[in-house]
Amino acid sequence: MLNPLHHLRLLPRDSRDTLFMLLVIAWVVLPQVSHLPLWCSLLSGAVMLWRGWLAVTLRPLPSRWWLWLLLVLTVGATLFTHKTLLGRDAGLTLIVVLLALKTLELRARRDAFVVFFLSFFMMLSNFFFSQSLLTAGAMLIALLGLLTALVNAHMPVGKPPLLQAARIAGSMTLLGAPIMVLLFLLFPRLAPLWGVPSDAMSGRSGLSATMQVGNIASLALDDSIAMRIRFEGAPPRQSDLYFRGPVLSSFDGRSWQPLRSGLPAQLRPLPHLQVQGAPVNYQVTLEPNQRPWLLLLDATPNAPLLTGFEARMTPELQWLVERPITDLLRYTARSYPDFSHGPLRPVAGLQDYLELPIGFNPRTLQLAAEMRRDPRYAADDGTQLIAAVLQRLRSGGYVYTLEPGVYGRDSADEFWFDRKEGFCEHIASSFVILLRALKLPARVVTGYQGGEQNPVDGFWTVRQSDAHAWAEVWLNGRGWVRVDPTAAVAPGRVGSLQRLQAPRGVITEALLGNVSPALALNLRAVWDAVNNRWNQSVLNYTQRTQLNLLKDLGFESPSWEDLIYLLIGIVVLASLGGAAWTLWERLRQDPWLRLLAQAAKRLQKAGVQLAPNSPPRRMAEQLSAQLGPEHPAAQRIGDWLLRLEALRYAPPAAQHSRLPALQREFKRLHWPT
């Protein structure tokens, strides 16, 4: 029985090349699998396995009828899945299918090219989903693989080792990298040429515009970064780090939604934002969230500084921009942790925050009625009731957990009386329902809470797992007041560095299982810092950074035309350099010949008759004939000339290393005059 690796090595060149191509295609497609319909992944995998088997067993390719049949089937299936053949998702599915089917007719070089070009579109479509450092690394490997396959296809002689093609592809990429850097820095960044199709925005994680029970649970397990913050001066206390997202005020029994008021907009209460105390200045680098939401600390009275967008504040203090944020966005803001807002006296519109759906959560309503009847709270303005509810949360055996299970129809009843466990969203939802039943206007606020400082570069990182939901209650004379009921259930969740650890995946467990937690934390800090560098310098490279670069280079008031001029200037300079190098290469003389010519010149000066193009041995003979064989100078020079001759026939490496010694000796010799 042959060793399988040995068997692979014995495969004919065609089969080996095909297998390599399949490997590269699989590498390109693999990161997309989670975004593809299941049938597409399975079909492509099966087709490519089939092709690999045909290559290994040296069987003929299937007939064209098979291909046509599969093509018609897959186009039909794409149409059925996506209801269209256009757009990003359908296009992606089609490209993957075409790529897989094309491998079944990898006959000519033309087919290899088709695979090559389709793969580039695949690689680009990867970037719709992630532009992280990892993706960049994976795609760099894919690019190297594709180039290797192409280089290999253009080595028509024999069976060249793949490693050789890979080395050539690698050196080409290395040489191409400076061109990439130059173009990346100087190619003018333009606004989108036409509207971006809306389907490019779907399918990414982030805060949601509505809140259903269990919705944030999936976010809490998502460790990806939501934003990075650099505070100028000391950062505020961890417990003050509330980044405000959508405010949810309408409840229909199942989900919380933004306020749907019966009142016309102009009659609704105004924000009445009052700030005091010392401000916090900071810069946010927001990962694309595909929503028009800017996440800012509570409370930000003035619009943050940002380019390309117009920011405005809603009456509920959330900051919005006019279109979804599809790219890394950086902005600076000034916030005041000490603030108050909302009407101080009861006004029309506050009753919107008391509405509860009829027929839901009867036991909660009953609990509220009992508390209202309690004589202790008869004269209460609400603070004592809130304190009582928080006390209940604290001492009633309520547990914070990420896995509370599926809640039924009356989610608040189940939370307060049956399960007594949940995470911020269950707690906030049940809390607000109870307060509304107590006739206290209340609403749910979502956003991020907390974050951690990276010790490596000092940036604060806020992750999707920091997504949070809390409550705001309106109190007569004080306006809206933030109450975080989760803090009552799990004090560790709010205001501490302790982050809830998501369960590790199998692979992470295997990789990090034996690593000490401190080391793991350090590794993660370094990794985050590297990622942040990547985000700040590569992904956040915008027109403004570009123009700043020009300013640093000495342009007075740079515009994008200057970028073009600079680019053209560099191209002209590079061409001139190339021309000069070619000229130099043409004029360059062999160092050995140059040394010989110098020696001939010296001898001729001394009156030795030399024929043109005399070899060193001939020169030595002439010299000794002229000066006599016993002459010491003739002997030494003759000896040197013979060694020079011997060097000409030495291996190239020796020629390189020993020539300088002869050159030095040439200067020390006493030449006759």
Partner 1 sequence: MSVAPSLPHPLLRPMAHVRAQFQRWWQARLPLTDIFTLTQRNVYILPTRPGLMLGVTLLVLLVASINYQLNLGYLLTFLLAGCSLVAMQVCHATLRGLTMHLIAPYPVFTGATAIIGINLENRRQSTRFGIGLALLGSDHWSWTDVPAQANATVHVAFKPERRGLHRVPALTAETHFPLGTFRVWTVWRPAAQVLVYPAPEPHAPALPLGEPRAGDAAAAPGPGSGDYDGIRAYRRGDPLKLVVWKKAARANELVSRDTQQVQRHELWLEPQKTGLSQPEQQLSRLCAWVLQAEQQGLDYGLRLGGLEIKPAHGEAQKRRCLQALALC
Residue 214 DSSP label: T
By C-beta, is 54 or 172 nearer to partner 1? 172
- Compose the 200-239 pattern: x for residues touching partner 1 by CB under 8 A, - for all others: x---------------------------------------
Scan residues 304-333 and list those touching partner 1 (CB under 8 A): 326-328
Spatial separation of the C-alpha atoms in residues 644 and 443, rounded to whole Å: 94
Structure tokens at 136: 């960049």
Dihedral sign for Cα atoms in the order 356, 357, 362, 363: negative
Residues 6+ apart with CB under 8 A from 232: 281, 282, 283
By C-beta, is 128 or 251 nearer to partner 1? 128
For the bound state, the minimum distance from the C-beta of residue 575 to partner 1, rounded and expressed in Å, comes to 12
Query: What is the widest separation between alpha-carbon atoms in the chain?
Result: 134
Structure tokens at 6: 């040995």
147 is a site residue for partner 1 (CB under 8 A): yes
Q: How many residues does the chain have?
A: 673
Do 208 and 215 form a contact (C-beta atoms < 8 A)?
yes
113 is a site residue for partner 1 (CB under 8 A): yes
397 is a site residue for partner 1 (CB under 8 A): no
For the bound state, the minimum distance from the C-beta of residue 131 to partner 1, rounded and expressed in Å, comes to 4
92 is a site residue for partner 1 (CB under 8 A): no
Spatial separation of the C-alpha atoms in residues 54 and 11, rounded to whole Å: 12
For the bound state, the minimum distance from the C-beta of residue 536 to partner 1, rounded and expressed in Å, comes to 11
177 is a site residue for partner 1 (CB under 8 A): yes
Structure tokens at 177: 């990298």
For the bound state, the minimum distance from the C-beta of residue 248 to partner 1, rounded and expressed in Å, comes to 30
173 is a site residue for partner 1 (CB under 8 A): yes
Q: Which stretch binds partner 1 (CB under 8 A): 151-159, 214-222, 460-468, 556-564?
A: 151-159
Within a 10 A sphere around the Cβ of 432, how many other Cβ atoms?
A: 30
110 is a site residue for partner 1 (CB under 8 A): yes
Structure tokens at 434: 């109870």
108 is a site residue for partner 1 (CB under 8 A): no
Chosen residue from 124, 521, 530, 654 binding partner 1 by CB under 8 A? 124
Beta strand segments in 465-550, E: 467-475, 479-483
Structure tokens at 152: 């290999």
Chosen residue from 79, 179, 568, 572 binding partner 1 by CB under 8 A? 179
95 is a site residue for partner 1 (CB under 8 A): no
For the bound state, the minimum distance from the C-beta of residue 155 to partner 1, rounded and expressed in Å, comes to 5
By C-beta, is 47 or 143 nearer to partner 1? 143
Q: Which stretch binds partner 1 (CB under 8 A): 129-137, 375-383, 419-427, 614-622?
A: 129-137
180 is a site residue for partner 1 (CB under 8 A): yes
Structure tokens at 419: 């399960």
For the bound state, the minimum distance from the C-beta of residue 150 to partner 1, rounded and expressed in Å, comes to 5
Which residues sit opposite 443 in a β-bridge? 472
For the bound state, the minimum distance from the C-beta of residue 328 to partner 1, rounded and expressed in Å, comes to 8
Which residues sit opposite 242 in a β-bridge? 449
Spatial separation of the C-alpha atoms in residues 146 and 378, rounded to whole Å: 77
Chosen residue from 135, 261, 290, 635 binding partner 1 by CB under 8 A? 135
Residue with tokens 């990789």: 511
For the bound state, the minimum distance from the C-beta of residue 179 to partner 1, rounded and expressed in Å, comes to 3
Spatial separation of the C-alpha atoms in residues 494 and 424, rounded to whole Å: 10
Spatial separation of the C-alpha atoms in residues 318 and 273, rounded to whole Å: 12
Chosen residue from 53, 66, 117, 417 binding partner 1 by CB under 8 A? 117
Spatial separation of the C-alpha atoms in residues 450 and 470, rounded to whole Å: 13
Do 506 and 520 form a contact (C-beta atoms < 8 A)?
no
Chosen residue from 66, 184, 565, 581 binding partner 1 by CB under 8 A? 184
Structure tokens at 445: 């606020």
For the bound state, the minimum distance from the C-beta of residue 304 to partner 1, rounded and expressed in Å, comes to 20
Helices (H) and strands (E) in the chain, counts: 22, 20
Q: Which stretch binds partner 1 (CB under 8 A): 107-115, 250-258, 296-304, 603-611?
A: 107-115
By C-beta, is 105 or 338 nearer to partner 1? 105
The rounded Cα 307 to chain-centroid distance in angstroms is: 21
121 is a site residue for partner 1 (CB under 8 A): yes
129 is a site residue for partner 1 (CB under 8 A): no
539 is a site residue for partner 1 (CB under 8 A): yes
User: Shortest CA distance to 429 belongs to which of 207, 256, 206, 216?
Assistant: 256
By C-beta, is 110 or 670 nearer to partner 1? 110
Residues 6+ apart with CB under 8 A from 371: 377, 385, 388, 438
Looking at residue 140, its amino acid is L
User: Shortest CA distance to 602 belongs to which of 567, 644, 573?
Assistant: 644
User: Shortest CA distance to 342 belongs to which of 420, 249, 421?
Assistant: 249
- Compose the 580-619 pattern: x for residues touching partner 1 by CB under 8 A, - for all others: --x---x---------------------------------
Q: Which stretch binds partner 1 (CB under 8 A): 513-521, 533-541, 599-607, 631-639?
A: 533-541
Q: Which stretch binds partner 1 (CB under 8 A): 122-130, 367-375, 547-555, 638-646?
A: 122-130
187 is a site residue for partner 1 (CB under 8 A): yes
- CA-based angle 624:630:634, to the nearest 5? 40
By C-beta, is 192 or 262 nearer to partner 1? 192
Spatial separation of the C-alpha atoms in residues 517 and 63, rounded to whole Å: 57
Chosen residue from 61, 155, 402, 500 binding partner 1 by CB under 8 A? 155
SS (H, E, C) 432-444: HHHHHHCCCCEEE
Residues binding partner 1 (CB under 8 A): 109-110, 113, 117, 120-121, 123-124, 127-128, 131, 135-136, 139, 143, 147, 150-151, 153-158, 160, 168-169, 172-173, 175-180, 183-184, 187, 190, 192-194, 196, 200, 326-328, 538-541, 582, 586, 652
